[in-house]
Amino acid sequence: MEKENEILCILCKNLRKLLEKTELAYDKLNELRLRVHEPLIAVYDGREYFIGEQGGLVRERELAYRLSEADIKDTLELISNYSLYAYEDEIRQGFITVEGGHRIGLAGTVVAEQGRIRNVKNIYFINIRISHQITGCALPVLPYIRDADRVYHTLIISPPRGGKTTLLRDMIRCISNGDGKNAGMTVGVVDERSELGACYRGMPQNDLGMRTDILDCCPKVDGMLMLIRSMAPQVIAVDEIGSIEDIEAIAYVIHCGCRIFATVHGMSIDDIKNKPVLRKLVEERIFERYIVLKNSRHAGQIESIFDAMGNRLYDSNTRREAYGVCG
Amino acid sequence: MWIKLVGCIVIMGSAVLLGMYYGNCLTRRLAALRQLYQAMQLLKGEICYRHATLSEAFTEVGRRCGHDVGAWMETLGRKLMDRRSATFMELWLSAVETISRQGAFSQEDIGLLREFGKNLGYLDLQMQENRILFFMEQLDVQMKELLDTMKERQRLYRTLSILGGCFLIVVLL
């Protein structure tokens, strides 16, 4: 019910009525896609449907409700809480995070100035990605990323939409809270795109554990250094590393004695080795564990786990599938 | 005879009270304009320096101000926070209607308030700042005009009310 309210309150009157007429289990709703003059699309339980003119999920395009310019404008007004100006930075990055941690992707006409994005105007494409935190999805990987006295530097490698952020989020929660055998650790999260904590007005909407400090909307490099100076974390977590500056900041974090959890886009360790910037990470054995995800059947399948030397510690083909996460 | 005397006293008393009421209306309007001006200063700070959304800004300014205009702003802020699928203009116009019924502002002030809401929340921070500064200038002009004429008009209301009372007594007698 809470999720339903969070979604309905950011939709304009027309769309709200349509969704109220549609019987939806909001836990299964993945995305709502709004495009001007095009049908309203819902990705529900992993499948794409249209929302009908009279409400309900339909497969026929002719029966679908087509979005007007006013629908998009009014919805955008509600998404931004009537204050587009307050989300200038987020709009420049192409998304806004709303209450509940749901991520609203925006596209329109980009206003560029001296090669840099200044703003996005005429926003007529909106993608509402419904946040689903999967509590417990990191439990199967915990034995591989920590032992009695330490946590390993861990890199999650996954293709886009492979579930790496969901897995990282739960790893943070588990390490932060601890359990009967392992004490909880202080975790610092640099959440550059508000995906991990999904902070709304600074308050995390996802559970990242009781010993977690979050730097929201902060550039990764600056954030990692700030956390070390100010919050004395034992573990630092960052999402989607890729630039040379990120790698240098990670090296600094490790030299400071912190453990690091990070994610990167890729298909395998070899794929990472082929990327000039990231190759250094593997060759210098900066990370002690590599978790490779695949999304062949569903997002979040753990394909394999490697150690720093490249030895396979877990293989989904020879052992049972570790866990399913999505997102 | 006694009845006539009592009637005259009642008429004159009412006329004087009516004159005082209209005089006080001007004082109330000035106070309300001052409150609105002060609230706008705070609103500008909330929006430009804290990057608060309109709902947060109105609620916070309302809470800080405490006076009638502040209470009105706080209510508006809470309505904006609820986001009941209404557009900002719908909520703004309804809020302006509410404050208009309180009677402190003149129709001209209410017109300015309506106009002020038109571009609020739209475009960038610079636009918000310009909009608020322009509105504050308009409020300043309103206050100056009111201050220039207030004493004369209050005296006029008092005199007219007494003369009106005398005239009514003469007519009735």
- This model of the complex carries an ipTM of 0.75
- Give the domain range for residue B17: 2-172
On the question of pLDDT at A80 being above 60, the answer is: yes
Q: Which two tokens stand for residue A35?
A: 């495009």
Per-chain mean pLDDT for chain A: 88
pLDDT confidence of residue A327: 36
B53 vs A88: CB contact, 8 Å cut-off? no
Residues A260, A252 contacting (CB under 8 angstroms): no
Same domain, A23 and A152: no
Cβ contacts of residue B90 below 8 Å, gap of 6+? none
Which residues face A151 on adjacent strands?
A: A146
Contacts with B84 from chain A: Cβ below 8 Å: 9
**Does A218 share its domain with A242?**
yes
Query: Do both A119 and A266 map to the same domain?
Result: no
Nearest-CA distance A74 → chain B (Å): 6
pLDDT (tens digit, 9 = 90+) per residue, A232-253? 999 999 998 988 899 989 989 9
**Does the beta carbon of B129 lie under 8 angstroms from any beta carbon of chain A?**
no
Q: What percent of chain A has pLDDT over 70?
A: 95
Residue A297 pLDDT: 60
Which domain CATH number covers A89? 3.30.450
| d(C-alpha A212, C-alpha A214), whole Å | 6
Annotate B108-166 with three-state secondary structure. HHHHHHHHHHCCCCCCCHHHHHHHHHHHHHHHHHHHHHHHHHHHHHHHHHHHHHHHHHH
Tell me how close the Cα of B85 comes to any Cα of chain A, in angstroms.
Answer: 5
d(CA A288, CA A309): 8
CB atoms within 10 A of CB A46: 10
A80 touches chain B (CB under 8 A): yes
CA-based end-to-end distance of chain A? 21
Whole-angstrom Cα Rg for chain A: 21
A16 to chain B, any CB pair closer than 8 A? The answer is yes
Average pLDDT of the residues in A199-227: 90
Assigned domain for A178 exists: yes
In which band, very low, low, confident or very high, does the pLDDT at A321 lie, cut at 50, 70 and 90?
very low
> Which tokens in the block code for residue B154?
């209050």
B51 interfaces chain A, CB cutoff of 8 Å: yes
- C-alpha B76/C-alpha B93 separation (Å) is 10
Pairwise CA distance, residues A182 & A139, whole Å: 13
- pLDDT of the residue at A322: 43
Residue A194 to residue A98: CA distance in whole angstroms: 10
A145 and A294 part of one domain: yes
Distance from CA of A126 to the nearest CA of B (A): 17
Q: Residue A296: its pLDDT value, please? A: 62
Are A281 and A179 part of one and the same domain? yes
Q: Reply yes or no on whether the pLDDT at A324 is more than 70.
A: no
CATH number for the domain that contains residue A220: 3.40.50.300
Residues A86 and A148 in one domain: no
Calculate how close chain A gets to B62, using CA atoms only, in Å: 18
CA-to-CA dists, residue A177 to A210, A212, B46, B152, angstroms: 6, 9, 36, 73
Residue B89, SS3? helix
pLDDT at A323 over 60: no
Last residue within a domain, chosen from A100, A129, A158: A129
pLDDT digits (tens, 9 = 90+) for A154-209: 999 998 878 888 899 999 999 999 988 888 999 999 998 888 888 877 888 889 99
Dihedrals phi, psi of B51, to nearest 5 degrees: 55, 35
Q: Is the same domain home to A221 and A289? A: yes
Decide if A262 is inside a domain: yes
- Residue A326, pLDDT > 70, answer no
The tokens describing A291, both together, are 């978790």
Taking the Cβ of residue A12 and every Cβ of chain B, the question of whether any pair is shorter than 8 Å is answered with yes
Q: How many domains does chain A have?
A: 2
Contacts of A8 in chain B (CB under 8 A): 85
Q: What is the CA radius of gyration of chain B?
A: 21
Domain boundary among A74, A99, A129: A129
A195 and A262 fall within a common domain: yes
* A24 and A154, same domain (yes or no): no
Q: What pLDDT is recorded for position A298? A: 62
What is the pLDDT at residue B173? Answer: 76
pLDDT of residue A128: 94
* Assigned domain for A324 exists: no
Residue of B nearest to A99 (CA): B81
pLDDT, tens digit, 9 for 90 and up, residues A27-44: 889 899 999 999 999 999
What mean pLDDT do residues A307-320 have?
Answer: 80
Q: Among B54, B56, B83, select the one facing A78 at the smallest CB separation.
A: B83
Within 8 A by CB and 6+ apart from A317, the residues are none
For residue A272, the enclosing domain spans 139-315
A259 neighbors A153 (Cβ within 8 angstroms): yes
pLDDT reading at A325 higher than 60: no
Q: Are residues A125 and A167 in the same domain?
A: no
Indicate if A8 and A156 belong to the same structural domain.
no
Instruction: Give the pLDDT mean for B37-48.
Output: 92
Which of B55, B87, B123 is facing A84, going by the closest CB pair?
Answer: B123
The amino acid sitting at A29 is L
Residues sharing a CB contact under 8 Å with residue B60, sequence separation 6 or more, in sequence order: B42, B46, B52, B77
Total of domains in chain B: 1
8 Å CB contact of B123 and A82: no
Q: Is A31 in the same domain as A96?
A: yes
Query: Would A261 be classed as within a structural domain?
Result: yes
**Measured distance CA(B133)–CA(B146) in Å, rounded:** 20
* Boundary-marking domain end, from A81, A105, A129: A129
Residue A272: band (very low, low, confident or very high) from pLDDT cuts 50, 70, 90: confident
**Domain assignment of residue A325, yes or no:** no
Backbone angles phi, psi at A49, to 5 degrees: -130, 160
What is the rounded average pLDDT of the residues B111-122? 86
In this prediction, residue A300 carries a pLDDT of: 67
Q: How far apart are CA B129 and CA A299, in angstroms?
A: 46
